[in-house]
Chains A and B, each alone.
Chain A
Amino acid sequence: GAGVSQSPSNKVTEKGKDVELRCDPISGHTALYWYRQSLGQGLEFLIYFQGNSAPDKSGLPSDRFSAERTGGSVSTLTIQRTQQEDSAVYLCASSFGGFQETQYFGPGTRLLVL
C-alpha cells in the first residue's frame, strides 16, 4: 500500500515568506508527527496529532510555526516569516497508535530559506 507522502519534495523560499508543507499519512493511521532534521543534527520533534485529541505542540520552536490536521488525515505545517535557520528537512511520520507504535516516515521536504 501507499506510504507516507509529503509535498513539495523541495522548497526554496526567500527570508520573510510563508511556506506550507503537506503530509499525507498512511490510511488508517491515527497518529501523525512532524519532525525537523537539520544538517548533522538528530531529528527534532515538532508536533504530534493523535486522533481527535488536542495536539502536542511542545516541540514547535516559535510561534511562527503551526500545524493543522484536517479530518484526521492530511496535515499541513506552516512556517510564517521564514528565517534562514528554518532551513532543514521536515519529516512527517504516521503510526497506528501513539509513540509506542512503529512510525513510518515520509521522504521529507527539503526547505531552503535564502
Chain B
Amino acid sequence: KNQVEQSPQSLIILEGKNCTLQCNYTVSPFSNLRWYKQDTGRGPVSLTIMTFSENTKSNGRYTATLDADTKQSSLHITASQLSDSASYICVVRRGDSWGKLQFGAGTQVVVTP
C-alpha cells in the first residue's frame, strides 16, 4: 500500500476558480513534505516544502497546509490560471538517517477557459 495517498485523482476547474488538493500519508518517522508541480512532458518542480512545525506555507497563488498530527496536507490553488494545468505530486521524506522519499501518484488538474 502506498504510504502517500492523494485525492482526487483528477479534477477539472474553470479558470479563475479555486481548488484544493489533498494528501494523506502514513510515512513514519516524518521529516518534511513537498508539493511538486509537473507540467506535461516535463520533470517535477518543487512548489513548497513544509517541516513538522510548519502549518501553512504559500508560494504565490499556491498555499500548502500541513497537519502533522493527522498526517494530512492540502494544496490550495487560488484564482486558477490555464498554466496551472498540471499534475501535482505530494512527496514525503522519511525522518530517518537515510531520508528516502515517498511519492504520491499525483492529482491531475485541468483548468478550462
Contacts and interface: CB of A to CB of B under 8 A. Distances in A.
Interface of A: 4, 35, 40-45, 91, 93, 98-100, 102-108
A42 B105 contact: yes
Contact of B100 (A4, A45, A106, A108): A45
Contacts of A108: 41-43
B89 A107 contact: no
A91 B100 contact: no
A28 B97 CA distance: 23
Contacts of B41: 107-108
B8 interface: no
A5 to B, nearest CB: 10
B45 A105 contact: yes
A40 B89 CA distance: 12
21 contacts: A42-B2, A42-B105, A43-B89, A43-B103, A45-B100, A91-B43, A93-B43, A98-B99, A99-B93, A99-B99, A99-B101, A100-B31, A100-B32, A102-B49, A103-B46, A105-B43, A105-B45, A107-B41, A107-B43, A108-B41, A108-B42
Nearest to A92: B43
Contacts of B32: 100
A105 B44 contact: yes
A4 B43 CA distance: 9
